[in-house]
């Protein structure tokens, strides 16, 4: 966990707003400094460049959603309920911070060591309990046989891809900006329904 001074935290919060409003490319060190109410010179004493600020913005935001996802996976709910809550929280998070997926792709293509720079600093949720619960439901014949890790990949892929590939997908499905944004928002429910329908085995009630 990083410990920031009040002005560093102010810069990170300002950067979140700037990235959200203007995207990564449209945001500059100057605009972040102005939004934070500090000089660009002072900002550079805290963060070397925009890439470094983005790293800490990502870690800050991920630090907010990660405990929620962990609580869902460890909670006293059925697998189906966990899938619904997990996807709803994650898709809502991505909708709130639309710049994150594309920013991460840009970072992954940079010359810096993405794994060391980001992943090593993350406290990733531990899905062990969720995996065990999935395997237990498979044994009881309530959900179809699937590798729990593959299920997690499917959840993340369906949740994130529309945001990562927004320009391509919007044109491909011939949707306007407002329509596409609505589709992404509704994805919090519809992606969950799609995955649940794919794995859930209907139970005969006599």
Q: Is 0.75 topped by the overall pTM? A: yes
Please give the pLDDT value at position 34. 95
Contacts of 189 (CB under 8 A, 6+ apart): 88
Please give the pLDDT value at position 101. 75
pLDDT digits (tens, 9 = 90+) for 120-148: 566 678 999 999 999 999 999 999 999 99
Distance CA(16)–CA(12), nearest Å, equals 6
Please give the pLDDT value at position 203. 79
Residues 37 and 68 in one domain: no
pLDDT digits (tens, 9 = 90+) for 14-23: 999 999 999 8
Residues 102 and 7 in one domain: no
Last residue of a domain, one of 28, 47, 66: 47
Residue 205 lies in a domain: no
Asked if pLDDT for residue 83 goes beyond 70, the answer is yes
Banded model confidence at residue 110, pLDDT cuts 50, 70, 90: low
Residues 37 and 57 in one domain: no
Residues 42 and 54 in one domain: no
CATH number, domain with residue 86: 1.10.357.10
Residue 204 lies in a domain: no
CATH number, domain with residue 33: 1.10.10.60
Residues 105 and 157 in one domain: yes
Residue 134 lies in a domain: yes
Residues 6 and 17 in one domain: yes
191: containing domain: 50-199
Residue 151 lies in a domain: yes
Coil, helix or strand at residue 1: coil
Asked if pLDDT for residue 205 goes beyond 60, the answer is no
Banded model confidence at residue 4, pLDDT cuts 50, 70, 90: confident
Residues 175 and 93 in one domain: yes
Residues 38 and 139 in one domain: no
Last residue of a domain, one of 32, 47, 62: 47
Distance CA(14)–CA(73), nearest Å, equals 32
Please give the pLDDT value at position 70. 94
Farthest-apart Cα atoms in the chain, separation: 73
User: Cα angle vertex 108, ends 107, 113, to 5°?
Assistant: 90
Please give the pLDDT value at position 41. 94
Contacts of 47 (CB under 8 A, 6+ apart): 8, 11, 53, 56
pLDDT digits (tens, 9 = 90+) for 162-192: 877 777 888 888 988 889 888 888 888 999 9
Domain count, the chain: 2
Residues 18 and 79 in one domain: no
pLDDT digits (tens, 9 = 90+) for 22-72: 988 899 999 999 999 999 999 999 999 998 899 889 888 988 899 999 999
Residues 28 and 130 in one domain: no
Average pLDDT over residues 77-103: 89
**C-alpha Rg value of the chain to the nearest Å:** 20
Residues 41 and 64 in one domain: no
Residues 125 and 182 in one domain: yes
Residue 144 lies in a domain: yes
Distance CA(58)–CA(47), nearest Å, equals 14
């Amino acid at each position: 966990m990083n410990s920031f001074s009040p002005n560093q935290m102010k810069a990170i919060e300002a950067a979140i707003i700037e990235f959200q409003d203007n995207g990564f490319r449209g945001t500059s060190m100057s605009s972040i400094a102005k939004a934070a109410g500090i000089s660009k010179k002072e900002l550079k004493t805290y963060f070397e460049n925009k890439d470094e600020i983005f790293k800490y913005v990502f870690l800050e935001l991920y630090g907010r959603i990660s405990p929620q996802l962990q609580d869902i996976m460890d909670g006293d709910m059925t697998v189906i309920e966990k899938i619904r809550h997990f996807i709803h929280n994650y898709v809502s998070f991505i909708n709130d911070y639309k710049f994150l997926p594309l920013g991460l792709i840009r970072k992954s293509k940079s010359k810096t060591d993405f794994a060391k720079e980001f992943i090593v600093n993350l406290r990733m949720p531990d899905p062990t309990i969720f995996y065990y619960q999935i395997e237990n439901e498979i044994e009881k014949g309530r959900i179809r046989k699937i590798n729990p890790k593959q299920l997690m990949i499917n959840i993340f892929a369906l949740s994130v891809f529309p945001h990562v590939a927004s320009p391509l997908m919007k044109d491909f499905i011939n949707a306007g900006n407002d329509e596409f944004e609505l589709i992404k928002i509704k994805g919090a429910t519809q992606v969950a329904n799609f995955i649940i329908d794919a794995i859930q085995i209907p139970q005969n009630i006599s």
